Amino acid sequence: MVIKMRKRRIALLLIPALIISGLAVFFVRYAENRQAWAMSVYNRGIYSSGQLITGNIYDRNGIMLSKVEDGVRRFASDETIRRATAHATGDINGNIGTGALKAFTSELVGYNIITGINNGRSDLYLTIDSELNRTAYEALGGYSGTVAVVNYKTGEILCMVSTPSCDPVSSETAEGDGVYLNRFLSASYTPGSVFKIITLIAALEEIPDIMEREFACNGSVEIDGEAVNCHSVHGTLKIEDAFAQSCNCAFAEIAIELGDDTIIEYAESLGLTSSVDIDGIQTASGSFDTAENDRYTAWLGIGQYRDLVNPASMLRLVSAIANGGAAPEFRLISGQGTALLSFIDAMEHRGDRSERLVSSATSEQMTAMMDYNVYSNYGDGNFPGLELCAKSGTAEVGGDKAPHSWFVGFITNEEYPLAFVVVSENGGSGAGTAGRIANTVLQSAIAGGE
């Protein structure tokens, strides 16, 4: 026999009902925000005076980049290594927003719902090779700019240097223009002739007889009453030579035939206007403006006008060309200290996460032409043993400043599936300055067995 509770008291059940609703509100907030709460800078379990006091960072070979000892954060003992890896690792004050210390806080703490911030151990292994970073840092030789090398099969970023850099251990604010900015991830530059890669891809897919065409260059072409200059008098040339010689007259003609909308559409579909997600870090995205006349359209297709390109997105595009058309998912984290965390990470990144940017037919044509660039223009002798495919860019930046020097490309040798981007600001000739830096870094990468 069921005994009923007193009728009037049923109203009192409103009290526990309200309490349960309040708890539900809390648990919904907990489910949504628990990670952000745990990662708060006010969490004394992981922060002390604004410094992250948990989590060690190593490079892909287990070389220590930053480590906590007795509650104090330390960095690599070699200053050049520190400066060369500062943008990957981050600095003690947290000024470098895209450094691991800021961007991978959660991984460094090893936060998970079961043990919270207490997992006993929190080691983070980056994909970069600190020695290769050192080579790149030294090869930049005082130029501002960036060097990055990626394995285009796996997406692992092996080298990522941005200059000017700072000593991450120093608590003083570093002097210099944008020292805390990782130019690979967060800058966008006028691309100059490296943008001809995009214009050429568009031409290969939109102009059926492009391979048969002949272009005429007498050093300049008049469009809308003003001259679009070429850097040389190329005479009559076919598309592969127009690309290899980076002939502005030929590309002006192609750009106008394609139209500004088509070129921008290709820039978008090739990933240049969107942000790349690298283990949660959002890169800067490039931007392009529609042109109001043919002359501007010509400059748009040549990579000048108002074109802006982020080095990471450019590297992603050449990686896709190297990889048969599919851009690999870029990674900066190679592993985490505990089996549980590595398992969670593996589950999050399982399956093929590459994204097709160009058809395999187009990527084959592009590979052949970028190979021809090195053979016919940049000189195989300047890149001994590399089996290099590349495109240079010499981006005019206005005023009386020297142009930015770009060099992008990849190695076709299956044993060294490396793609790279080099930008040296005001470095002059692309194939010259940036090309030399690329050669030094790639030679070192191969010698190091990457």
Residue 25 found at the interface with another protein (CB under 8 A): yes
Min CB(28)–another protein separation in Å: 10
Residue 217 found at the interface with Zn ion (CB under 5 A): yes
Q: What, of Zn ion, another protein, none, does residue 353 touch, CB below 5 to 8 Å by kind?
A: none
Residue 249 found at the interface with Zn ion (CB under 5 A): yes
Q: Which stretch binds Zn ion (CB under 5 A): 41-49, 191-199, 233-241, 274-282?
A: 233-241
3-state SS class at 147: strand
Residue 121 found at the interface with another protein (CB under 8 A): no
Distance CA 445, CA 161 (A): 14
Residue 30 found at the interface with another protein (CB under 8 A): yes
Residue 275 found at the interface with another protein (CB under 8 A): no
Residue 8 found at the interface with another protein (CB under 8 A): yes
Residue 6 found at the interface with another protein (CB under 8 A): yes
Q: How far is CA 269 from CA 12, 266, 357, 359, in A?
A: 62, 5, 7, 12
Q: Going by C-beta distance under 8 Å and a sequence separation of 6 or more, which residues neighbour residue 343?
A: none
Please give the structure tokens belonging to residue 222.
Answer: 């008049």
Residue 42 found at the interface with another protein (CB under 8 A): yes
Q: What, of Zn ion, another protein, none, does residue 234 touch, CB below 5 to 8 Å by kind?
A: Zn ion
Distance CA 315, CA 319 (A): 6
Min CB(227)–Zn ion separation in Å: 12
Contact 376, 390 (CB under 8 A): no
User: Whose Cβ is closer to Zn ion: residue 60's or residue 391's?
Assistant: 391
Residue 232 found at the interface with another protein (CB under 8 A): no
DSSP 231: S
DSSP-assigned beta bridge partners for residue 271: none
Q: What, of Zn ion, another protein, none, does residue 217 touch, CB below 5 to 8 Å by kind?
A: Zn ion
Min CB(75)–Zn ion separation in Å: 49
Residue 331 found at the interface with Zn ion (CB under 5 A): no
DSSP 176: S
Q: How far is CA 188 from CA 18, 89, 230, 335, in A?
A: 53, 21, 24, 29
Residue 114 found at the interface with another protein (CB under 8 A): yes
Concatenating the DSSP letter of every residue in 101-128 gives: HHHTHHHHHT-BTTTBT--S--EEEES-
User: Whose Cβ is closer to another protein: residue 12's or residue 233's?
Assistant: 12
Q: Going by C-beta distance under 8 Å and a sequence separation of 6 or more, which residues neighbour residue 328?
A: 150, 151, 152, 153, 154, 155, 319, 320, 354
Residue 43 found at the interface with another protein (CB under 8 A): yes
Pick out residues in 74-113 that bind another protein (CB under 8 A): 112-113
Residues that bind another protein (CB under 8 A): 1, 3-6, 8-9, 11-13, 15-16, 18-20, 22-23, 25-26, 29-30, 33-35, 37-38, 40, 42-46, 112-118
